[in-house]
Homo-oligomer: A and B are copies of this chain.
Amino acid sequence: MNIGTASEKSGLPAKTIRYYEDIGLLRPDRADNGYRDYSMSDVHRLRFLQRSRSLGFSVEECRQLLSLYGDNARESADVKSIAETKLVEIDRKLAELTELRNTLRHLVHNCHGDSRPDCPIIDGLSGRTQTQ
């Protein structure tokens, strides 16, 4: 499929998809006319990149995670250790996102929605979980 279709399916702009190719994150086929030709597997990689980037992982972290995906030459002990490291980080992100969501929910439910400017729960946004 052409880059436009891959863009639609992955949620990434065509520009970004070409950039990811430049920096070696994927290597699509080329058709006879010179157009890039994306496989379903390329689209999977792209979707994965879209997701993990939007969740705050750097491109280099995504590259690591992608190396888990479909790289049969890699040793599974290595795979396991990378995955375990990322799991810790993901759990932290999950906790923080959950806290942020709860705060905003509280905000939405407890604020009046009219023009009264007192929303004292907003303090929670800074996440006073640990002692300060």
Chain A interface, number of residues (Cβ within 8 angstroms): 59
Which of chain B's residues have a CB closer than 8 A to the CB of A105? 87
Copies in the complex: 2
Residues of B within 8 A of A76 (CB): 111-119
The reply to whether B96 and A94 contact each other, CB–CB distance below 8 Å, is no
Query: Mostly helix, strand, loop or mixed at chain A's interface?
Result: helix
Is A51's CB under 8 angstroms from B127's CB?
A: yes
Which of A's residues lie within 8 Å of B, judged by CB? 9, 40, 43-45, 47-48, 51-56, 65-66, 68-70, 72-77, 79-80, 83-84, 86-87, 90-91, 93-94, 96-98, 100-101, 104-105, 107-108, 111-119, 122-123, 125-128, 132
